[in-house]
């Protein structure tokens, strides 16, 4: 894989040349030191890549000559992370790592114990910042897919509409929770295959309230324990995403021809 990657969301599948915007051009030429003749991989965040050569290393409008356009293999599964907003810049790190692991959707949530409250312009700016973090992570790790980042939603509104998932899981510090391994095994035993659409729901500092946990269970979520230790919300998000991604990829590989 070439060392240089750029995000080109508006590129046509059959394009022979790609022209980058000012920000992407500046980053490629000034920050990454790409020069004329260097190979560059462009991606649109929806699974298509272009293998290109830099023919005009302008700091304002880079021109890339397309050598090959290729769609990547469709994803075998989709994992959505619904994350109650943590304090500080922790959400930035969660978005980056979720992108690297391959989350398909990231839903920021406002819950009862959320200590960060964003609305209006502040919320829009945060969403844009997280999208930028996802793009940077995708460039770094070579992921041709960007997660869809939704607007901030309330916990109650989200779980009431979370119906199109085959398996819905919620991180829990309460008694009676099962493990990820048992939840996945139970689904396979019942349906004869691994789930394709999985939702992983993580609370804020202090966890979900008992009222929220009851509402989630009523809405079909399975409480999941991640072991005897109390993990930070960002650790819980990434830990479980890693396990789910690994298990679901292995399941897809086992049934591939």
What pLDDT, in 10s, does the model give residues 56-106?
999 899 999 999 999 888 888 999 999 999 988 899 999 999 999 999 999
**pLDDT by residue (tens digit) across 123-158?**
889 999 999 999 999 999 999 999 999 999 999 999
Domain that holds residue 47: 4-71
What pTM, to 2 d.p., does this model score? 0.91
Burial of 121 (0-12, 13-18, 19+ CB in 10 A): exposed
**pLDDT by residue (tens digit) across 95-115?**
999 999 999 999 999 998 887
Q: Which CATH number is 200's domain given?
A: 3.40.1280.10
Q: Are residues 62 and 82 in the same domain?
A: no
- Reported for 21-29, long-range contacts at CB under 8 A and 24+ positions apart, including other chains, are 21/61, 22/60, 22/61, 24/62, 25/58, 25/59, 25/60, 25/61, 25/62, 26/59, 26/60, 28/4, 28/54, 28/57, 28/62, 29/57, 29/58, 29/59, 29/62
Q: Are residues 43 and 144 in the same domain?
A: no
Q: Are residues 105 and 225 in the same domain?
A: yes
Residue 176: predicted pLDDT: 85
**pLDDT by residue (tens digit) across 206-239?**
889 999 999 999 999 999 999 888 889 899 999 9
Q: Which CATH number is 29's domain given?
A: 2.40.240.20
> What's the number of domains the chain is made of?
2
Residue 168 has pLDDT above 70, yes or no: yes
Q: Are residues 113 and 219 in the same domain?
A: yes
Query: Which residue in 136, 159, 134 sits closest to 148, CA to CA?
Result: 134
Q: Are residues 61 and 92 in the same domain?
A: no
Q: Are residues 204 and 139 in the same domain?
A: yes
Q: Where a domain ends, among 25, 44, 71?
A: 71
Rounded Cα distance between 109 and 103, Å, is 16
């Amino acid at each position: 894989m070439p060392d240089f990657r750029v995000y080109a969301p508006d590129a046509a599948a059959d394009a022979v040349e790609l022209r980058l915007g000012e920000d992407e051009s500046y980053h490629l030429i000034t920050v990454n030191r790409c020069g004329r003749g260097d190979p560059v991989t462009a991606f649109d965040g929806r699974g298509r890549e272009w293998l290109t050569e830099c023919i005009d290393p302008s700091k304002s409008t880079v021109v890339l000559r397309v050598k090959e356009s290729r769609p990547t293999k469709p994803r075998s599964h989709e994992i959505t992370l619904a994350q109650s907003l943590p304090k500080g810049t922790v959400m930035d790190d969660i978005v980056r790592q979720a992108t690297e692991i391959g989350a398909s959707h990231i839903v920021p949530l406002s819950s009862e114990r959320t200590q960060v409250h964003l609305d209006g312009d502040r919320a829009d700016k945060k969403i844009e910042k997280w999208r930028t973090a996802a793009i940077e992570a995708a460039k770094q790790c070579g992921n041709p897919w960007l997660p869809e980042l939704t607007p901030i939603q309330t916990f109650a509104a989200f779980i009431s509409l979370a119906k199109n998932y085959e398996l819905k899981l919620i991180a829990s510090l309460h008694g009676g929770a099962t493990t990820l391994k048992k939840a996945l095994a139970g689904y396979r035993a019942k349906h004869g295959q691994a789930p394709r659409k999985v939702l992983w729901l993580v609370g804020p500092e202090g966890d979900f309230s008992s009222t929220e946990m009851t509402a989630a269970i009523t809405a079909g979520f399975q409480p999941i324990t991640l072991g005897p230790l109390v993990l930070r919300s960002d650790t819980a998000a990434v830990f479980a995403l890693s396990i789910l991604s690994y298990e679901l990829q292995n399941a897809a590989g086992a049934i591939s021809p």
